[in-house]
Copies of this chain bind each other. A is one copy, B any other.
Amino acid sequence: MSDDATAFVPGHVTGFFSAHPADDPAVAGSRGAGLTLSHGVTVTVEPAQETTVSLDGEAVEMPPVADVLRALGVTAAVDAESDLPLGAGFGVSGAMALGTALAANAVFGCGRSENELVTLAHVAEVRAGTGLGDVVAQARGGMPVRVEPGAPDYGRMDGIPARPEIEYVAFGGLSTADVLSGDTTALTAAGETALEALRAEPTLDRFVAESRRFARDADLLTDRVEAAIEDVRAAGGDGSMAMLGETVFAVGSGLSDAGYDPERCRVHPAGSTLRSE
């Protein structure tokens, strides 16, 4: 048992998805595609008498993190530092759950495999209603395509072989739990159509185009988001909306070229990982 351990988990922006609920949270999940980002969450876990969770120095309630620690049978102080805003479609809660699983396994010598740890974090996210597909995407890295939903024993992943620079602007939050608990029929139909088109042509350009079509067809665009995407396209770039947040992402310098002041990062080459010993 070491004193503490640290894991890095990339952010994840979903471009489009379909929801696939199931009684077993390891079977539940989403199909769809997204981008993992070099901006992400660094999670440090240290043994403690009582579990506490902080994000950027502030105490936070984060049910999936507590759930992961309970499943491992440990109590710990979990300290997360994030480049990304919470609740804006970057998978921060999934990253905290997954980073906690990886770091706690190392610090307490729990002896779980990577798939087992991803499953713990995925199940915790599904139970909390805060995400369906971020965790498996963040475990993989790159531009993940969720071909079949669920934790590693059930799901299947592919990827788009591209590693572009990405810009983003976060205007505000949308509640993933609210959208996922509503009627997802139209959303899921639009997501399935987009996935079929992307699998026929698994390229960056097709991903962004299908993401835009999905955001419109699933009726998730806010006025600010719609205007920013139009600005990016008018300036010769392309982008879409992060699912689920009031956030716009663009390829390359798309948002800068349109006169915005975005954050800049890249598609992350790796999945979640322990910081080297």
Contact = CB atoms under 8 A, between A and B. Distances in A.
Contacts of A201: 111
B270 A276 contact: no
Interface in A121-165: 141-142, 145, 152, 158-165
A273 B273 CA distance: 16
Contacts of A102: 161
Interface stretch (A58-66, A68-76, A112-120, A253-261): A112-120
Nearest to A113: B202
A263 B28 CA distance: 45
Interface residues of A, number: 36
A167 to B, nearest CB: 14
Contacts of A159: 113-115
B202 A142 contact: no
A105 B161 contact: yes
Interface in A232-277: 266-267, 269-271, 273-277
A164 B111 contact: no
Interface string A155-183: 00011111111000000000000000000
A141 B277 contact: no
A20 interface: no
A113 B273 contact: no
A222 interface: no
Contact of A114 (B111, B142, B267, B276): B142
A159 B272 CA distance: 12
Interface string A91-104: 00000000000100
Given A142-B273, A162-B274, A269-B276, 9 more contacts: A102-B161, A111-B202, A113-B160, A113-B202, A114-B142, A114-B160, A141-B271, A164-B277, A165-B276
